[in-house]
Chains A and B, each alone.
Chain A
Amino acid sequence: MTSNANPQPSASPVAIDGLTRRFRRKTALDGVSLKVPRGFVYGLVGENGAGKTTLIKHLLGLLKPQAGSVQVFGLDPIAAPEQTLGRIGYLSENRDMPNWMRVRELMLYTKAFYPAWDDAYAEHLRATFDLDPGAKIRTLSRGQRAQAGLLAALGHRPDLLILDEPSSGLDPIVRRDILAAIIRTVADEGRTVLFSSHLLDEVERVADHVAMIHTGRLVMQGPLDDIKQGHLRVTLRFPEPQRTPPDLPGALFWEGAGTEWATVCNGQAAALKEAAAQRGAEVLEEATPSLEEIFIARAKAGPARVREA
Protein backbone atom coordinates (compact mmCIF):
# COMPACT_ATOMS: atom_id res chain seq x y z
CA MET A 1 0.00 0.00 0.00
CA THR A 2 2.88 2.35 -0.58
CA SER A 3 2.39 5.14 -3.04
CA ASN A 4 4.06 3.10 -5.77
CA ALA A 5 1.35 0.46 -5.67
CA ASN A 6 -1.36 2.81 -6.84
CA PRO A 7 -3.49 1.22 -9.55
CA GLN A 8 -4.12 4.54 -11.32
CA PRO A 9 -0.97 6.60 -11.15
CA SER A 10 -2.20 9.06 -13.76
CA ALA A 11 -5.49 9.86 -11.98
CA SER A 12 -6.11 13.39 -10.67
CA PRO A 13 -5.18 13.77 -7.02
CA VAL A 14 -8.73 14.99 -6.44
CA ALA A 15 -11.78 14.66 -8.68
CA ILE A 16 -15.15 15.68 -7.31
CA ASP A 17 -18.29 15.42 -9.38
CA GLY A 18 -21.69 16.80 -8.42
CA LEU A 19 -21.05 16.46 -4.70
CA THR A 20 -24.06 17.33 -2.57
CA ARG A 21 -24.32 17.15 1.20
CA ARG A 22 -27.10 18.24 3.51
CA PHE A 23 -27.08 18.45 7.27
CA ARG A 24 -30.71 18.35 8.32
CA ARG A 25 -32.25 21.29 6.48
CA LYS A 26 -28.99 23.01 5.71
CA THR A 27 -27.32 22.33 2.36
CA ALA A 28 -23.59 22.38 3.03
CA LEU A 29 -22.53 21.45 -0.50
CA ASP A 30 -24.70 21.79 -3.56
CA GLY A 31 -23.55 20.01 -6.73
CA VAL A 32 -19.88 20.86 -6.41
CA SER A 33 -17.57 19.59 -9.16
CA LEU A 34 -13.87 20.24 -9.25
CA LYS A 35 -10.61 18.65 -10.29
CA VAL A 36 -7.28 19.33 -8.66
CA PRO A 37 -4.49 18.94 -11.20
CA ARG A 38 -1.30 17.16 -10.18
CA GLY A 39 1.67 19.28 -9.17
CA PHE A 40 -0.25 22.44 -8.40
CA VAL A 41 -1.33 24.42 -5.37
CA TYR A 42 -5.11 24.55 -5.27
CA GLY A 43 -6.69 27.18 -3.05
CA LEU A 44 -10.20 26.69 -1.75
CA VAL A 45 -11.67 29.98 -0.65
CA GLY A 46 -14.93 30.96 0.94
CA GLU A 47 -16.39 32.44 4.09
CA ASN A 48 -16.59 30.47 7.30
CA GLY A 49 -19.41 27.97 6.92
CA ALA A 50 -19.29 28.07 3.12
CA GLY A 51 -18.67 24.31 2.91
CA LYS A 52 -14.88 24.10 2.62
CA THR A 53 -14.37 21.80 5.60
CA THR A 54 -17.28 19.58 4.56
CA LEU A 55 -15.66 19.18 1.15
CA ILE A 56 -12.31 18.26 2.70
CA LYS A 57 -13.94 15.70 5.02
CA HIS A 58 -15.24 13.91 1.93
CA LEU A 59 -11.70 13.69 0.57
CA LEU A 60 -10.54 12.07 3.79
CA GLY A 61 -13.37 9.54 3.72
CA LEU A 62 -14.92 11.01 6.87
CA LEU A 63 -18.18 11.79 5.09
CA LYS A 64 -19.99 9.78 2.46
CA PRO A 65 -21.37 11.68 -0.55
CA GLN A 66 -25.16 11.90 -0.48
CA ALA A 67 -25.08 12.62 -4.20
CA GLY A 68 -22.23 12.76 -6.66
CA SER A 69 -18.82 11.20 -6.35
CA VAL A 70 -15.44 11.85 -4.78
CA GLN A 71 -12.20 10.34 -5.99
CA VAL A 72 -8.72 10.68 -4.58
CA PHE A 73 -6.02 9.41 -6.95
CA GLY A 74 -8.82 7.72 -8.86
CA LEU A 75 -10.11 5.83 -5.85
CA ASP A 76 -13.07 6.16 -3.52
CA PRO A 77 -11.57 7.26 -0.18
CA ILE A 78 -14.24 5.33 1.75
CA ALA A 79 -13.78 2.07 -0.16
CA ALA A 80 -9.96 2.34 -0.32
CA PRO A 81 -8.85 4.28 2.74
CA GLU A 82 -5.35 2.83 2.90
CA GLN A 83 -4.46 3.59 -0.71
CA THR A 84 -5.79 7.14 -0.43
CA LEU A 85 -5.02 8.22 3.13
CA GLY A 86 -1.50 6.80 2.87
CA ARG A 87 -0.74 9.36 0.19
CA ILE A 88 -2.38 12.31 1.94
CA GLY A 89 -0.92 14.60 4.54
CA TYR A 90 -3.58 16.47 6.47
CA LEU A 91 -3.64 19.37 8.87
CA SER A 92 -6.87 20.80 10.21
CA GLU A 93 -7.60 24.14 11.75
CA ASN A 94 -8.23 22.44 15.11
CA ARG A 95 -4.94 20.60 14.95
CA ASP A 96 -6.29 17.68 16.97
CA MET A 97 -3.36 15.87 18.46
CA PRO A 98 -2.81 13.59 21.45
CA ASN A 99 -2.06 16.17 24.12
CA TRP A 100 -0.33 13.75 26.46
CA MET A 101 2.34 12.82 23.93
CA ARG A 102 5.75 14.39 23.64
CA VAL A 103 6.88 15.70 20.26
CA ARG A 104 9.23 12.73 19.90
CA GLU A 105 6.35 10.33 20.60
CA LEU A 106 4.09 12.10 18.18
CA MET A 107 6.67 11.51 15.47
CA LEU A 108 6.96 7.80 16.28
CA TYR A 109 3.20 7.45 16.60
CA THR A 110 2.54 9.11 13.24
CA LYS A 111 5.33 7.12 11.61
CA ALA A 112 3.53 3.89 12.52
CA PHE A 113 0.66 4.84 10.19
CA TYR A 114 2.82 5.58 7.18
CA PRO A 115 5.17 3.07 5.56
CA ALA A 116 6.66 5.90 3.54
CA TRP A 117 7.64 7.93 6.65
CA ASP A 118 10.99 9.66 6.14
CA ASP A 119 12.85 9.92 9.47
CA ALA A 120 15.55 12.24 8.19
CA TYR A 121 13.02 14.62 6.65
CA ALA A 122 10.83 14.59 9.77
CA GLU A 123 13.86 15.35 11.92
CA HIS A 124 14.86 18.14 9.55
CA LEU A 125 11.38 19.65 9.89
CA ARG A 126 11.48 19.35 13.67
CA ALA A 127 14.80 21.17 13.76
CA THR A 128 13.57 23.84 11.33
CA PHE A 129 10.53 24.49 13.51
CA ASP A 130 12.76 24.42 16.59
CA LEU A 131 10.42 22.01 18.40
CA ASP A 132 11.75 20.45 21.59
CA PRO A 133 11.45 16.66 21.13
CA GLY A 134 10.80 16.24 24.87
CA ALA A 135 8.01 18.84 25.09
CA LYS A 136 4.47 17.63 25.67
CA ILE A 137 1.96 18.60 23.00
CA ARG A 138 -0.22 20.08 25.75
CA THR A 139 2.46 22.60 26.67
CA LEU A 140 3.03 23.85 23.12
CA SER A 141 1.95 27.31 22.03
CA ARG A 142 -0.62 27.69 19.25
CA GLY A 143 2.09 28.24 16.71
CA GLN A 144 4.15 25.28 17.92
CA ARG A 145 1.06 23.08 17.80
CA ALA A 146 0.55 24.09 14.19
CA GLN A 147 4.18 23.31 13.46
CA ALA A 148 3.90 19.91 15.18
CA GLY A 149 0.75 19.23 13.16
CA LEU A 150 2.54 20.21 10.00
CA LEU A 151 5.42 17.92 10.87
CA ALA A 152 3.00 15.02 11.35
CA ALA A 153 1.32 15.87 8.04
CA LEU A 154 4.52 16.13 6.01
CA GLY A 155 6.77 13.40 7.47
CA HIS A 156 5.76 10.75 4.94
CA ARG A 157 6.25 13.19 2.04
CA PRO A 158 2.63 12.95 0.94
CA ASP A 159 1.66 13.15 -2.72
CA LEU A 160 -1.28 15.29 -1.68
CA LEU A 161 -1.11 17.76 1.17
CA ILE A 162 -4.49 18.92 2.45
CA LEU A 163 -4.59 21.89 4.78
CA ASP A 164 -7.87 23.12 6.22
CA GLU A 165 -7.50 26.76 7.26
CA PRO A 166 -3.91 26.06 8.26
CA SER A 167 -3.03 29.56 9.37
CA SER A 168 -6.20 30.71 11.07
CA GLY A 169 -5.47 32.31 14.41
CA LEU A 170 -1.70 32.14 14.01
CA ASP A 171 0.87 34.88 14.26
CA PRO A 172 2.67 36.02 11.09
CA ILE A 173 5.86 34.09 11.85
CA VAL A 174 4.13 30.71 12.05
CA ARG A 175 2.02 31.62 9.03
CA ARG A 176 5.29 32.10 7.16
CA ASP A 177 6.34 28.57 8.19
CA ILE A 178 3.11 27.15 6.88
CA LEU A 179 3.29 29.01 3.58
CA ALA A 180 6.93 27.99 3.21
CA ALA A 181 5.95 24.35 3.83
CA ILE A 182 3.34 24.61 1.08
CA ILE A 183 5.93 26.08 -1.26
CA ARG A 184 8.52 23.45 -0.40
CA THR A 185 5.99 20.65 -0.84
CA VAL A 186 4.91 21.72 -4.27
CA ALA A 187 8.47 22.47 -5.34
CA ASP A 188 9.08 18.74 -4.88
CA GLU A 189 8.29 17.33 -8.30
CA GLY A 190 4.72 16.20 -8.75
CA ARG A 191 3.34 16.88 -5.28
CA THR A 192 -0.01 18.55 -4.95
CA VAL A 193 -1.43 20.86 -2.31
CA LEU A 194 -5.07 21.58 -1.59
CA PHE A 195 -5.62 24.20 1.05
CA SER A 196 -8.59 26.13 2.26
CA SER A 197 -8.34 29.62 3.61
CA HIS A 198 -10.32 32.75 4.09
CA LEU A 199 -7.07 34.77 4.04
CA LEU A 200 -7.20 35.67 0.40
CA ASP A 201 -3.87 37.42 0.13
CA GLU A 202 -2.28 34.19 1.31
CA VAL A 203 -4.15 32.20 -1.33
CA GLU A 204 -3.17 34.73 -3.94
CA ARG A 205 0.50 34.34 -3.08
CA VAL A 206 0.76 30.59 -3.23
CA ALA A 207 -2.11 29.15 -5.26
CA ASP A 208 -2.01 28.31 -8.97
CA HIS A 209 -5.66 27.35 -9.07
CA VAL A 210 -8.51 28.74 -7.05
CA ALA A 211 -12.01 27.51 -6.35
CA MET A 212 -14.48 29.76 -4.63
CA ILE A 213 -17.29 28.31 -2.58
CA HIS A 214 -20.16 30.46 -1.46
CA THR A 215 -23.05 29.03 0.56
CA GLY A 216 -22.26 25.48 -0.57
CA ARG A 217 -21.94 26.32 -4.24
CA LEU A 218 -18.92 26.61 -6.42
CA VAL A 219 -19.16 30.14 -7.80
CA MET A 220 -15.87 30.24 -9.64
CA GLN A 221 -12.84 28.09 -10.32
CA GLY A 222 -9.82 28.10 -12.54
CA PRO A 223 -6.20 29.14 -12.82
CA LEU A 224 -5.58 32.16 -10.61
CA ASP A 225 -4.14 34.15 -13.52
CA ASP A 226 -7.26 33.56 -15.61
CA ILE A 227 -9.48 34.61 -12.74
CA LYS A 228 -7.45 37.77 -12.19
CA GLN A 229 -7.36 38.62 -15.88
CA GLY A 230 -11.05 37.87 -16.20
CA HIS A 231 -11.87 40.74 -13.88
CA LEU A 232 -11.16 44.44 -13.90
CA ARG A 233 -11.60 47.15 -11.33
CA VAL A 234 -12.84 50.30 -13.00
CA THR A 235 -13.27 53.66 -11.32
CA LEU A 236 -15.65 56.01 -13.07
CA ARG A 237 -16.61 59.65 -12.70
CA PHE A 238 -20.13 60.54 -13.75
CA PRO A 239 -21.14 64.05 -14.81
CA GLU A 240 -24.01 64.00 -12.29
CA PRO A 241 -24.11 62.50 -8.80
CA GLN A 242 -25.64 59.00 -8.81
CA ARG A 243 -27.98 58.17 -5.98
CA THR A 244 -27.89 54.44 -6.51
CA PRO A 245 -25.17 52.21 -7.91
CA PRO A 246 -25.15 52.63 -11.70
CA ASP A 247 -26.64 49.77 -13.69
CA LEU A 248 -23.97 48.87 -16.22
CA PRO A 249 -23.38 45.54 -17.99
CA GLY A 250 -20.77 43.25 -16.44
CA ALA A 251 -20.55 45.17 -13.15
CA LEU A 252 -20.64 42.75 -10.25
CA PHE A 253 -20.50 45.08 -7.32
CA TRP A 254 -20.27 48.84 -6.82
CA GLU A 255 -18.63 50.99 -4.24
CA GLY A 256 -18.80 54.73 -4.18
CA ALA A 257 -21.00 57.76 -3.80
CA GLY A 258 -21.85 60.95 -5.65
CA THR A 259 -20.04 61.21 -8.95
CA GLU A 260 -17.28 58.69 -8.30
CA TRP A 261 -18.02 54.97 -8.39
CA ALA A 262 -15.75 51.93 -8.53
CA THR A 263 -16.76 48.50 -9.71
CA VAL A 264 -15.25 45.10 -10.13
CA CYS A 265 -16.53 43.79 -13.43
CA ASN A 266 -16.26 40.45 -15.18
CA GLY A 267 -14.55 39.86 -18.50
CA GLN A 268 -16.78 42.18 -20.53
CA ALA A 269 -14.99 45.38 -19.60
CA ALA A 270 -15.40 46.78 -23.11
CA ALA A 271 -19.19 46.66 -22.86
CA LEU A 272 -19.10 48.29 -19.45
CA LYS A 273 -16.82 51.09 -20.57
CA GLU A 274 -18.91 51.72 -23.66
CA ALA A 275 -22.10 51.92 -21.61
CA ALA A 276 -20.32 54.21 -19.14
CA ALA A 277 -19.16 56.48 -21.96
CA GLN A 278 -22.73 56.75 -23.25
CA ARG A 279 -23.69 58.12 -19.87
CA GLY A 280 -20.90 60.65 -20.05
CA ALA A 281 -18.80 58.88 -17.42
CA GLU A 282 -15.05 59.16 -17.53
CA VAL A 283 -12.76 56.25 -16.64
CA LEU A 284 -10.48 57.45 -13.84
CA GLU A 285 -8.63 54.24 -13.20
CA GLU A 286 -8.38 50.67 -14.38
CA ALA A 287 -6.58 47.99 -12.42
CA THR A 288 -6.42 44.27 -11.90
CA PRO A 289 -8.37 43.62 -8.72
CA SER A 290 -6.97 41.53 -5.90
CA LEU A 291 -8.45 38.10 -5.32
CA GLU A 292 -10.11 39.53 -2.23
CA GLU A 293 -11.87 42.22 -4.26
CA ILE A 294 -12.98 39.61 -6.80
CA PHE A 295 -14.23 37.36 -4.04
CA ILE A 296 -16.24 40.12 -2.38
CA ALA A 297 -17.67 41.22 -5.71
CA ARG A 298 -18.66 37.66 -6.62
CA ALA A 299 -20.13 36.93 -3.21
CA LYS A 300 -22.17 40.15 -3.20
CA ALA A 301 -23.30 39.74 -6.79
CA GLY A 302 -24.84 36.40 -5.81
CA PRO A 303 -24.87 33.14 -7.71
CA ALA A 304 -27.48 34.25 -10.22
CA ARG A 305 -25.18 36.77 -11.85
CA VAL A 306 -22.07 34.73 -11.38
CA ARG A 307 -23.07 31.76 -13.49
CA GLU A 308 -22.56 33.43 -16.81
CA ALA A 309 -18.85 34.09 -16.30
Chain B
Amino acid sequence: MRIHVSPNDGKPIYRQIVSQVKYLVAARRLRPGDELPPIRTLAEQLLINPNTVARAYRELEIAGMLTKRQGAGTYVADAGSPLADSERERILTERIDALLAEANQLDFPLERVIAFVRKRHADFTAPEEDNHDEQR
Protein backbone atom coordinates (compact mmCIF):
# COMPACT_ATOMS: atom_id res chain seq x y z
CA MET B 1 0.00 0.00 0.00
CA ARG B 2 1.61 3.24 -1.12
CA ILE B 3 0.68 6.25 0.94
CA HIS B 4 2.42 9.60 1.15
CA VAL B 5 1.83 12.21 3.78
CA SER B 6 3.11 15.73 4.04
CA PRO B 7 2.61 18.13 6.92
CA ASN B 8 2.45 20.99 4.40
CA ASP B 9 -0.42 19.57 2.43
CA GLY B 10 -3.05 21.91 3.87
CA LYS B 11 -4.93 18.88 5.22
CA PRO B 12 -4.40 17.14 8.57
CA ILE B 13 -2.25 14.02 8.20
CA TYR B 14 -5.01 11.61 9.30
CA ARG B 15 -7.28 13.11 6.61
CA GLN B 16 -4.55 12.54 4.02
CA ILE B 17 -4.43 8.87 4.98
CA VAL B 18 -8.23 8.59 4.92
CA SER B 19 -8.53 10.07 1.45
CA GLN B 20 -5.62 8.06 0.04
CA VAL B 21 -7.02 4.78 1.35
CA LYS B 22 -10.41 5.74 -0.12
CA TYR B 23 -8.70 6.52 -3.39
CA LEU B 24 -6.85 3.19 -3.40
CA VAL B 25 -10.13 1.37 -2.79
CA ALA B 26 -11.94 3.38 -5.46
CA ALA B 27 -9.11 2.70 -7.91
CA ARG B 28 -9.36 -1.02 -7.03
CA ARG B 29 -5.75 -1.10 -5.92
CA LEU B 30 -7.06 -2.20 -2.55
CA ARG B 31 -9.77 -4.82 -2.86
CA PRO B 32 -12.30 -6.20 -0.39
CA GLY B 33 -10.55 -8.60 1.96
CA ASP B 34 -7.09 -7.02 1.52
CA GLU B 35 -5.27 -6.51 4.79
CA LEU B 36 -3.96 -3.09 5.78
CA PRO B 37 -0.62 -2.73 7.55
CA PRO B 38 -0.80 -2.71 11.36
CA ILE B 39 -0.96 0.74 12.94
CA ARG B 40 2.60 0.59 14.28
CA THR B 41 4.02 -0.58 10.99
CA LEU B 42 2.38 2.18 8.99
CA ALA B 43 3.32 4.76 11.64
CA GLU B 44 6.97 3.78 11.45
CA GLN B 45 6.91 3.63 7.67
CA LEU B 46 5.38 7.09 7.32
CA LEU B 47 7.24 8.43 10.39
CA ILE B 48 4.08 9.70 11.98
CA ASN B 49 2.43 9.34 15.34
CA PRO B 50 0.66 5.96 15.77
CA ASN B 51 -2.38 7.79 17.15
CA THR B 52 -2.73 9.55 13.79
CA VAL B 53 -2.83 6.24 11.93
CA ALA B 54 -5.27 4.84 14.51
CA ARG B 55 -7.51 7.83 14.00
CA ALA B 56 -7.48 7.43 10.21
CA TYR B 57 -8.31 3.72 10.50
CA ARG B 58 -11.11 4.51 12.94
CA GLU B 59 -12.65 7.03 10.53
CA LEU B 60 -12.42 4.54 7.67
CA GLU B 61 -14.04 1.92 9.85
CA ILE B 62 -16.91 4.25 10.73
CA ALA B 63 -17.28 5.05 7.03
CA GLY B 64 -17.60 1.32 6.38
CA MET B 65 -14.46 1.10 4.24
CA LEU B 66 -12.50 -1.03 6.68
CA THR B 67 -13.37 -3.77 9.14
CA LYS B 68 -11.41 -4.95 12.13
CA ARG B 69 -11.26 -8.65 12.73
CA GLN B 70 -10.84 -9.45 16.39
CA GLY B 71 -7.13 -9.61 17.10
CA ALA B 72 -6.34 -10.23 13.45
CA GLY B 73 -5.80 -6.90 11.83
CA THR B 74 -7.68 -4.47 9.63
CA TYR B 75 -9.16 -5.37 6.26
CA VAL B 76 -10.90 -3.65 3.38
CA ALA B 77 -14.61 -4.22 3.92
CA ASP B 78 -16.69 -6.27 1.52
CA ALA B 79 -19.47 -3.71 1.56
CA GLY B 80 -17.07 -1.02 0.42
CA SER B 81 -18.64 -0.55 -3.00
CA PRO B 82 -21.46 1.98 -2.42
CA LEU B 83 -19.10 4.27 -0.57
CA ALA B 84 -16.41 3.64 -3.11
CA ASP B 85 -18.92 4.87 -5.68
CA SER B 86 -19.43 8.20 -3.97
CA GLU B 87 -15.67 8.47 -3.56
CA ARG B 88 -15.20 7.82 -7.27
CA GLU B 89 -17.77 10.50 -7.99
CA ARG B 90 -15.89 12.88 -5.77
CA ILE B 91 -12.61 12.20 -7.56
CA LEU B 92 -14.26 12.72 -10.94
CA THR B 93 -15.91 15.92 -9.76
CA GLU B 94 -12.52 17.34 -8.88
CA ARG B 95 -11.28 16.62 -12.40
CA ILE B 96 -14.42 18.06 -13.98
CA ASP B 97 -14.06 21.23 -11.93
CA ALA B 98 -10.50 21.60 -13.15
CA LEU B 99 -11.59 20.97 -16.73
CA LEU B 100 -14.41 23.53 -16.52
CA ALA B 101 -12.10 26.12 -15.01
CA GLU B 102 -9.62 25.55 -17.83
CA ALA B 103 -12.36 25.64 -20.48
CA ASN B 104 -13.67 28.88 -19.07
CA GLN B 105 -10.20 30.37 -19.09
CA LEU B 106 -9.69 29.34 -22.73
CA ASP B 107 -13.14 30.61 -23.67
CA PHE B 108 -14.72 27.31 -24.70
CA PRO B 109 -18.50 27.17 -24.34
CA LEU B 110 -19.91 24.16 -22.50
CA GLU B 111 -21.35 22.63 -25.69
CA ARG B 112 -17.91 22.49 -27.28
CA VAL B 113 -16.42 20.98 -24.13
CA ILE B 114 -19.09 18.27 -24.15
CA ALA B 115 -18.54 17.65 -27.86
CA PHE B 116 -14.81 17.31 -27.15
CA VAL B 117 -15.44 14.89 -24.31
CA ARG B 118 -17.61 12.78 -26.62
CA LYS B 119 -14.98 12.80 -29.33
CA ARG B 120 -12.21 11.83 -26.92
CA HIS B 121 -14.40 9.13 -25.49
CA ALA B 122 -14.96 7.75 -28.98
CA ASP B 123 -11.19 7.82 -29.62
CA PHE B 124 -10.66 6.04 -26.32
CA THR B 125 -13.21 3.30 -26.74
CA ALA B 126 -12.33 2.39 -30.33
CA PRO B 127 -8.82 1.04 -29.64
CA GLU B 128 -10.00 -0.54 -26.41
CA GLU B 129 -12.48 -2.69 -28.34
CA ASP B 130 -9.61 -3.76 -30.56
CA ASN B 131 -7.75 -4.88 -27.48
CA HIS B 132 -10.64 -6.98 -26.39
CA ASP B 133 -10.66 -8.62 -29.79
CA GLU B 134 -6.99 -9.39 -29.54
CA GLN B 135 -7.42 -10.95 -26.14
CA ARG B 136 -10.15 -13.23 -27.36
**B43 at the A interface (CB under 8 A):** yes
In the complex, whether B129 has a CB less than 8 A from a CB of chain A is no
Asked if B51 lies at the interface with its beta carbon under 8 angstroms from chain A, I say yes
Asked if B51 and A180 make an inter-chain contact with CB atoms under 8 angstroms apart, the answer reads no
Give the dominant DSSP class at A's interface. helix
Per the 8 Å Cβ criterion, residues 39-98 of A in contact with B are 40-41
Q: Which residues of B contact A236 (CB under 8 A)?
A: none
**A257 lies within 8 A of chain B by Cβ:** no
Q: Are B47 and A180 touching (Cβ within 8 A)? A: yes
User: A residues bordering B, Cβ < 8 Å?
Assistant: 40-41, 176, 179-180, 183-184, 186-187, 200-201, 204-208, 225, 228-229, 233, 287-292
Most chain-A Cβ atoms within 10 A of its Cβ — which of B7, B10, B39? B7
| A184 and B44 form a contact (CB under 8 A) | yes
Say which residue of B10, B13, B40 sits within 8 Å of A205 (CB atoms): B13
B53 CB to nearest A CB, Å: 10
On chain A, the residues within 8 Å of B49 by CB distance are: 41, 183, 186, 205-208
CB distance from A260 to the nearest CB of B (A): 17
Contact present for A180 and B44 (CB under 8 Å): yes
Please name 5 pairs of A and B residues whose Cβ atoms are closer than 8 Å in the assembled complex, sorted by A. A183-B44, A205-B5, A206-B48, A207-B49, A288-B10
Q: Are A205 and B50 in contact (CB under 8 A)?
A: no
The answer to whether residues A183 and B8 also contact, given A205-B49, A206-B49, A208-B49 and a CB cut-off of 8 A, is no
Is there an interface contact between A288 and B47, defined as CB atoms closer than 8 Å? no
CA distance A41 to B53 in the complex (A): 14
Question: Are the CB atoms of A183 and B10 closer together than 8 Å?
Answer: no
Residues 17-61 of chain B: 1 if any A CB is under 8 Å from the residue's CB, otherwise 0? 000000000000000000000011001101111110000000000
The A-contacting residues of B in range 52-76, CB under 8 angstroms, are: none
Chain B residues in 8 Å Cβ range of A229: 12
**Complex: how many Å from CA A47 to CA B46?**
26
- Please tell me if B121 contacts chain A, counting CB pairs below 8 Å: no
